[in-house]
Amino acid sequence: MRSPSLSARIGIGLLSGLLLGILASLGGWTELVRLWVLPWGTLFLNGLKLVAAPLIVCSVLSSFASSAGWPRFGVRVVLGFLASTATAVTLGLTLCALWGPGRDLDPTARQALLDRYGGEAQQRAEQVRADREQSFVEAIAHMVPDNFAAALSDNRAMLELVVAVLVFGLALSTVPRRHTENLRAFLEGLEALLLKLVQLLLHVAPLGVLALMAALVVDVAGSSLNRLLALLKALAGYAGVLAFGFAGMLVLYALALTIGSPLGWRRFWRAFRPAMLVAFSTSSSAATLPVTLERCERELMIPQPISRFALPLGATMHMDGTALYQAVAALFIAQVLGAELGLADYLRLGLLVLLISVGTAPVPGAGVVMLVLVLEYLDLPSESVALILGIDRLVNMCRTVLNVTGDAVVATLVAFPRRSAD
Ligand code: ASP
């Protein structure tokens, strides 16, 4: 008998984790899950994070070292990223403006949400207050770290690390090949080792995903699933717009793959599903990056120079799900507060979200912190982020799936474009 595929095994882990979490919530064994189940998830997550930073360094540098063609595909990758994020933002804004979920939020539900999550919202607002004083140029300047080792050792500084290795990579591509033979051999060896580790981690992925899901349900629902259901009911319109937006983007990806690449979406879907499931359960593009790279290179056969350039860059700078979410959430909050937005505000909001999603760290919950910035630019009180915090864990999981899928879709389209003869 054939053993189930990797994505089937991870899917089973995910569902079992969900079930275990629900049973634990109902039976009041939440502490038991936290003490005995969650550590397996932490182990899996730590394994992924352990591999992620060195893999970024190796993969970006070797992409520049091994290919002279990077200016050509590099431009296509960046244009692809911009086009897909602009599409996500437009889709989110259009759906939310037409549907108007914030316009009919019950005033008592609004007050209850503000009271319940106001404190947490305050904390997030304070987190961004220091950054808000920066000018645009200052923000760019801060993206270049002044200490390579510090960027390498801080998982939250993934964006800075990618920018640093891109600078190193650009310089490396101008050094004559005869001087870089040893460096290339070293990078190749190290990379083979790291990808081996990823394959080993994928064997334990079902258990890791099970543990993360069970702990998440216990965390969100506590000992009362009713609280989660009540929240979902209060925010049904907001959740509905997001669900349509996320599903709409997946359909657009499938269309783009069908029209734009001979590979087609079915093959993509089969190969990439495990990475989507890992993204869903970890809520982190950075932690999923090792799996994204492994899937794209081993299963989709994307040439390494392209995958190693596009995927680390995409994981930190290209976030379709986060951009769509920030656009919808900001507009939803504006609707709830009765703020009137004109066409110019929509354009401003769209552009801002596009830029801000580039600077959002690829870690759980970073998107909501940056949302505070968006609200402040729109002159909306940042504390009103409390309105959507209740279901943000769930939203975070879904937007992370879109974030990693968008990177792989663009890499696939650049690697295997449909030519007229196909
Ligand atoms: N968790 C997301 C990611 O890692 C970022 C976010 O919070 O939107 O892709």
pTM of the model: 0.90
Output the CA torsion sign for 348, 349, 350, 353.
positive
Residue 416: per-residue pLDDT: 95
What tens digit of pLDDT does each residue of 133-154 get? Answer: 666 677 777 788 888 888 888 8
What tens digit of pLDDT does each residue of 58-101 get? Answer: 988 888 877 667 778 889 999 999 999 999 999 999 999 999 99
Give the number of the atom of ligand 1 that is nearest the alpha carbon of residue 400. Answer: 9
Query: Which whole-number Å values give the CA distances from 94 to 90, 97, 103, 330, 408, in the listed order?
Result: 6, 5, 15, 13, 25
Could you tell me if the CB of 49 is within 6 A of ligand 1?
A: no
Residue 332: per-residue pLDDT: 93
Measure 291 CA to ligand 1 centroid, in angstroms: 16
Measure 350 CA to ligand 1 centroid, in angstroms: 18
Could you tell me if the CB of 80 is within 6 A of ligand 1?
A: no
Could you tell me if the CB of 281 is within 6 A of ligand 1?
A: no
| DSSP conformational letter for 222 | T
**Closest of 158, 133, 169 to residue 309, by C-alpha:** 169
Measure 365 CA to ligand 1 centroid, in angstroms: 6
Residue whose pair of structure tokens reads 């770290």 in the numeric block:
145
Q: Report yes or no: 59 and 191 within 8 Å, Cβ to Cβ.
A: yes
Give the number of the atom of ligand 1 that is nearest the alpha carbon of residue 325. Answer: 8
Measure 401 CA to ligand 1 centroid, in angstroms: 9
Could you tell me if the CB of 66 is within 6 A of ligand 1?
A: no
Residue 326: per-residue pLDDT: 95
Give the number of the atom of ligand 1 that is nearest the alpha carbon of residue 287. Answer: 4
Measure 367 CA to ligand 1 centroid, in angstroms: 6
Residue 132: per-residue pLDDT: 57
Tokens at residue 68, please?
A: 């002279």
111-116, Cβ contacts within 8 angstroms, sequence gap of 24 or more? 112/234, 113/234, 113/235, 113/386, 113/387, 113/389, 113/390, 114/383, 114/384, 114/386, 114/387, 116/386, 116/390
Could you tell me if the CB of 284 is within 6 A of ligand 1?
A: yes
Count of H-run helices and E-run strands, the chain: 19, 0
- Residue 330 to residue 327: CA distance in whole angstroms: 5
Burial of 190 (C-beta count, 10 Å sphere; 0-12/13-18/19+): middle
Q: Report yes or no: 132 and 373 within 8 Å, Cβ to Cβ.
A: yes
Could you tell me if the CB of 359 is within 6 A of ligand 1?
A: no
* Relative orientation angle of helices 392-415 and 70-99, to the nearest 10 degrees: 140
Give the number of the atom of ligand 1 that is nearest the alpha carbon of residue 366. Answer: 7
Could you tell me if the CB of 403 is within 6 A of ligand 1?
A: yes
Tokens at residue 251, please?
A: 């359909």
Measure 400 CA to ligand 1 centroid, in angstroms: 5
- Residue 309 to residue 288: CA distance in whole angstroms: 16
Give the number of the atom of ligand 1 that is nearest the alpha carbon of residue 326. Answer: 8
Supply the residue whose CA is at minimum distance from atom 6 of ligand 1. 367
Could you tell me if the CB of 292 is within 6 A of ligand 1?
A: no
Measure 404 CA to ligand 1 centroid, in angstroms: 10
Low-confidence stretches of the chain (pLDDT < 70) are 1-2, 67-68, 127-136, 222-225, 420-422
Could you tell me if the CB of 405 is within 6 A of ligand 1?
A: no
Could you tell me if the CB of 362 is within 6 A of ligand 1?
A: yes
